[in-house]
RNA sequence: GUGGCCUUAGCUCAACCGGCAGAGCAUCGGAUUGUGGUUCCGAAGGUUACGGGUUCGACCCCCGUAGGCCACCCCA
C-alpha cells in the first residue's frame, strides 16, 4: 500500500456538501458585480515577488513573513526565487492596468475578480494558506462618492446573503501630504511610552509607526491617549473623509469610525475600511477590507491614477453563514430516471429529452430492482422519479413525487411542466 | 514565527494497570422477478497519523516528524 498523501498544510478540499453555500456566495458576488457595472479581469496566480514587495511594502506582514515563494524547475537560484503566489489581488491588477495601457480606456475603470490568494501563514479556523477572495477595484476616480459606493456594495453583499451584524469600520490614514506629520506624532507619543510597548511594537515604531495601533496588547488608556489620524489630516483628506461619511449616512450604510484601523498594507491612502462581524472580538472578525491607494499606480511605474478597492474573504463569509445558520435558497428539483431490466436505451433517451427541457436528471445505470433504484434516488437528493415501464411505447412515463409518494402517468413532453407547475 | 491542547474505521467515539482493536451512524448486499423512507439479517471497512525507542508484549509509556484545533503576531 503506497503511503497516503494528504493535502498541504493550510489547504482544504471543498466537498460536495460545501457546494451549495459556495455557489450561493459566488453567485451573489457575480450578480452584484454585474449590477454595479464591474468588468471581469483575471491576472496570474503568481507574479514576480518584487511586484508584491514594491506594491505592498517591505514591512507589511504579507511580504515580510507570508510570501509564498514558488520556483521554476530550471534557471539560476535567483530566477527561481523570483516568483511568489499572490497574497492579494490589487498589485497584480494594477500591474496589468499599467502593462496593458488601460489608462486610455474610458474611465473610471471598474474591475472585478474572484480567485484564490496565498499566504504562508500559520493555519487556523478561518485562516488558510489558500483562500478565496471576491475583489473589486475602481481606477481613475478620486472622489469620495466611489468610496461610499464600495462600502455600500460590501454591506449589500452581506445583506443579500442574509448575514446580519456586519459593520463597516472606516478610517482615513491620510496621504503623502499629511501622513508624515501624523507618523511623527505617533513616534513622539509612543516613544514616550516605550516601556509599555511590546517588542514587536517597538520594532514597528521604527519601520511603520501606524501599525503600533494594531497591537492588541496596547493598554486602553494608551490607545485613548494616542494621536488620531483624523486629527492630523490635511484639508483635502479631511474633506474627503467628511464626504465619505456624509454619503454613508445619506445611504443609511451601517458604519463606525475606527481610529485604530490602519490596515496592514503600505499602499493605502486616505480611506481604509474593513467589514467586521460581531461575536468575533479579536479573532477572525474581518470578513473583508479595502481602501484607497492613490499612489500605487505611480509607485509601480504607471502614470498617476487614483484607485480604490476591496477584497472580501469568501471562506470567512461561508463560515459566518454556517455559524449564523443562514438559510440557502432551495435548489432546482433533481429528477431520477429509473427503469427495469436492461432498458437503458429508453432511460438515457428520456433523460436527454428532459435535460433538453431544462431539468436536472440523474439516470440510474443499474439493473437493480426498482425499490433499490428509488432508494438510491432519494439518497442522492432526488425529489422526483420518472419511472419507465411498458407505457414508454406511447411516450408515457410514471412521474412520482418522492416527497409525497403521489404518482401518475404523464406524457414525456409534459414532465417538465408537471414538475415546475 | 511563538505557546497550549489534540490525532483509533468515511463520521462521532470506546478499549480497565501495558495483555487478542470495538460500537453507533454512514456505505454496500439480502428479506419469494414493477415502487423508496420504518424494521430485520448480513458484508465490507484498521500498519491505532507517520518514524524510531523502552518492554516478553505498546492504541496506551518516551523521543522525533506531519497534520488539526485554540490563543498570540497579523489578517481574509
Q: CB–CB of A337/A364 below 8 Å? A: yes
Which residues 91-150 in chain A have a CB closer than 7 A to strand B? Answer: 119, 121-129, 131, 133
Which residues 174-193 in chain A have a CB closer than 7 A to strand B? Answer: none
Q: For chain A, which residues make up each domain, given as ranges?
A: 16-178+233-323, 334-420
Q: What pLDDT, on a 0 to 100 scale, did the predictor assign at position A300?
A: 93
* Strand B proximal to A282 Cβ, under 7 A: yes
Determine which helix (DSSP H) or strand (DSSP E) holds A235, and give its type and residue range: helix A235-251
Q: Does domain A16-178+233-323 have CATH number 3.90.76.10?
A: no
> Per-residue pLDDT tens for A276-324?
987 665 566 789 999 999 999 999 999 999 999 999 999 999 988 988 8
* Strand B proximal to A402 Cβ, under 7 A: yes
A334-420 CATH, one of 1.10.10.60, 3.40.50.800, 1.10.10.10, 3.40.395.10: 3.40.50.800
User: Residues of A7-18 as b/e, b for ≥16 C-beta within 10 angstroms?
Assistant: eeebeeeeeeee
Integer CA distances (angstroms), A187 to A110, A205, A251, A370, in order: 38, 6, 37, 78
The 8-class DSSP code of residue A17 comes to: G
* Strand B proximal to A267 Cβ, under 7 A: no
Q: CB–CB of A339/A347 below 8 Å? A: yes
Residue A278 burial (CB < 10 Å; 0-12/13-18/19+)?
exposed
* Strand B proximal to A24 Cβ, under 7 A: no
**Nucleotide nearest A132 (Cα, C1'):** B76
The 8-class DSSP code of residue A2 comes to: P
Average pLDDT over residues A360-370: 90
Region of poorest pLDDT, from A13-17, A194-198, A258-262, A380-384: A194-198
Integer CA distances (angstroms), A228 to A69, A222, A319, A329, in order: 37, 12, 33, 44
The set of cell numbers assigned to A369 is: 430492482
* Strand B proximal to A173 Cβ, under 7 A: no
> Per-residue pLDDT tens for A49-87?
999 988 887 777 777 778 888 877 666 666 666 889 999
Region of poorest pLDDT, from A25-34, A218-227, A252-261: A218-227
* Strand B proximal to A310 Cβ, under 7 A: no
* Strand B proximal to A367 Cβ, under 7 A: no
Model confidence at A95: pLDDT above 50? yes
Model confidence at A363: pLDDT above 70? yes
> Per-residue pLDDT tens for A13-34?
888 889 999 999 999 999 999 9
Q: CB–CB of A306/A294 below 8 Å? A: yes
**Nucleotide nearest A274 (Cα, C1'):** B76
Model confidence at A1: pLDDT above 50? no
CA distance linking residue A323 with residue A317, whole number of Å? 10
Amino acid at each position: 500500500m503506497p503511503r497516503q498523501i494528504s493535502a498541504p498544510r493550510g489547504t482544504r478540499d471543498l466537498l460536495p456538501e460545501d457546494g451549495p453555500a459556495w455557489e450561493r456566495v459566488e453567485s451573489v458576488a457575480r450578480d452584484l458585480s454585474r449590477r454595479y457595472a464591474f468588468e471581469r479581469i483575471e491576472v496570474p496566480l503568481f507574479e514576480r515577488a518584487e511586484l508584491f514587495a514594491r506594491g505592498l511594502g517591505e514591512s507589511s506582514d504579507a511580504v515580510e513573513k507570508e510570501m509564498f515563494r514558488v520556483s521554476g524547475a530550471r534557471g539560476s537560484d535567483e530566477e527561481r526565487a523570483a516568483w511568489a503566489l499572490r497574497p492579494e489581488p490589487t498589485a497584480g491588477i494594477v500591474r496589468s492596468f499599467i502593462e496593458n495601457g488601460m489608462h486610455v480606456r474610458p474611465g473610471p475603470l471598474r474591475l472585478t475578480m474572484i480567485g484564490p490568494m496565498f499566504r504562508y501563514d500559520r493555519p487556523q479556523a478561518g485562516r488558510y494558506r489558500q483562500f478565496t477572495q471576491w475583489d473589486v477595484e475602481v481606477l481613475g476616480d478620486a472622489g469620495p462618492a466611489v468610496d461610499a459606493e464600495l462600502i455600500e456594495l460590501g454591506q449589500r453583499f452581506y445583506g443579500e446573503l442574509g448575514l446580519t451584524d456586519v459593520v463597516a469600520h472606516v478610517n482615513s490614514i491620510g496621504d503623502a501630504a499629511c501622513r508624515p506629520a501624523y507618523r511623527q506624532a505617533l513616534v513622539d507619543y509612543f516613544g514616550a511610552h516605550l516601556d509599555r510597548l511590546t517588542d514587536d511594537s517597538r520594532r514597528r515604531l521604527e519601520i511603520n509607526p501606524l501599525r503600533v495601533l494594531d497591537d492588541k496588547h496596547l493598554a486602553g488608556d494608551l490607545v485613548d491617549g494616542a494621536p488620531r489620524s483624523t486629527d492630523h489630516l490635511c484639508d483635502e483628506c479631511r474633506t474627503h473623509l467628511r464626504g465619505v461619511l456624509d454619503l454613508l449616512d445619506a445611504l443609511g450604510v451601517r458604519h463606525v469610525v475606527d481610529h485604530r484601523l490602519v490596515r496592514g498594507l503600505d499602499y493605502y491612502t486616505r480611506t481604509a475600511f474593513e467589514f467586521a462581524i460581531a461575536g468575533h472580538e479579536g479573532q477572525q472578525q474581518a470578513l473583508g477590507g479595502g481602501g484607497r491607494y492613490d499612489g500605487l499606480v505611480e509607485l509601480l511605474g504607471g502614470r498617476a491614477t487614483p484607485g480604490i478597492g476591496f477584497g472580501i474573504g469568501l471562506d470567512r463569509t461561508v463560515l459566518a453563514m454556517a455559524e449564523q445558520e443562514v438559510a440557502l435558497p432551495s435548489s432546482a428539483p433533481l429528477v431520477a430516471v429509473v427503469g427495469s431490466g436492461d432498458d437503458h436505451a429508453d432511460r438515457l433517451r428520456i433523460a436527454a429529452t428532459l435535460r433538453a427541457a431544462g431539468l436536472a436528471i440523474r439516470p440510474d445505470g443499474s439493473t437493480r430492482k426498482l425499490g433499490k433504484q428509488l432508494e438510491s434516488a432519494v439518497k442522492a437528493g432526488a425529489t422526483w422519479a420518472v419511472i419507465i415501464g411498458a407505457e414508454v411505447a406511447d411516450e408515457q412515463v410514471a412521474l412520482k413525487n418522492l416527497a409525497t409518494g403521489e404518482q401518475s402517468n404523464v406524457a414525456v413532453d409534459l414532465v417538465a411542466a408537471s414538475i415546475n407547475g
